[in-house]
A and B are shown apart, each in its own frame.
Chain A
Amino acid sequence: MVEWTDFERATIKDIFAKMDYEVVGPATLSRCLVVYPWTQRYFGNFGNLYNAAAIAGNPSVAKHGKTILHGLDRAVQNMDNIKETYADLSVLHSEKLHVDPDNFRLLSDCLTIVVAAKMGKAFTGDVQAAFQKFLSVVVSSLGRQYH
């Protein structure tokens, strides 16, 4: 089981309570598709992903970005049980979506950067440590059912 300090719990709840999903979701996914272009392999039916501007303006990317970000809500609400909470999602990503689990790490790095840009100075080293710890638990849980 993951041990969370009071500071870590409060930090994660706070970040997600103030999260602007409509902006952060699309920004994170589009950044990931630009910075790590091989991730586009999973979105063949999303239409125009030819350049950064196209990706940023793509409605399918925006919609899916929000979906992914809201997917983190269950982990935020079940921080003591993330592994079990994401068991089904892990199977889905492995068996149906066939997503290389390294992509979870790439996306979480992009999310960290987008959140950092939004929070500015408030995103201190300690806050970043808590946020990255949370995301690494999520990433690990999502990769757990792969075989």
Chain B
Amino acid sequence: MTSLSAKDKAAVRGFWDKVSGKAEDIGSNALSRMLAVYPQTKTYFAHWKDTSPNSPSAKKHGITVMSGVADAVSKIDDLKGGLLNLSELHAFTLRVDPANFKILSHCILVVMAIMFPNDFTPEVHVAMDKFLAALALALAEKYR
């Protein structure tokens, strides 16, 4: 797909400024939601005692993932370079099927729409969608 234009990056940074204070909530909510809406994603968390959407593990992990997204925003000018370590982690250790990046991205967008209905305009939506797709691509960089 397409790379991020200056306009996209500005939209992502601008929206992130508004929402970063709620990043933990966004992350927890998105991950819990993903487990509920796409139960097949629970297969990656068989090592948790409780894989139900509202479990403490799910909420905590959502926070972890979202701090990765926050980091990516700061590295938006070079996602592939900036996320090299995370890419190696996902490629060699976690081996998450990249189709799941799309699934989680969708859940993040839904949570943003719920929490920021007025700010999550179609223009912000397209920029965030592109950004999350670019992030996913950077994460899958080392897969093969």
Which residues of A approach B to under 8 Å, CB–CB?
30-31, 34-35, 52, 55-56, 109, 112-114, 116-121, 123-126, 128-129, 132
Contacts and interface: CB of A to CB of B under 8 A. Distances in A.
B21 interface: no
Nearest to A115: B113
B35 A113 contact: no
A129 B37 contact: yes
8 smallest A-B Cβ distances: which pairs? A125-B36, A34-B122, A117-B117, A117-B113, A125-B33, A35-B126, A129-B37, A31-B122
A52 B123 contact: yes
B36 A113 contact: no
Nearest to B29: A125
Nearest to B129: A35
Contacts of A112: 110
A35 B114 contact: no
Nearest to A35: B126
Interface in B87-133: 106, 109-110, 113-114, 117, 120-123, 125-126, 129
Nearest to B34: A125
B51 interface: no
A17 to B, nearest CB: 20
Contacts of B106: 109
Nearest to B115: A120
Given A117-B117, A123-B114, A35 B36 contact: no
Contacts of A123: 110, 114
A113 B32 CA distance: 17
A12 B98 CA distance: 30
Nearest to B130: A35
Contacts of A119: 114
B27 interface: no
Contact of A34 (B37, B120, B123): B123
Interface string B28-56: 00001101110000000000000001000
A120 B118 CA distance: 11
Contact of A129 (B36, B113, B120, B121): B36
B37 A117 contact: no
Nearest to A34: B122
Given A52-B121, A52-B123, A132 B37 contact: yes
Contacts of A109: 106
A66 B126 CA distance: 22
Contact of A116 (B32, B35, B110): B110
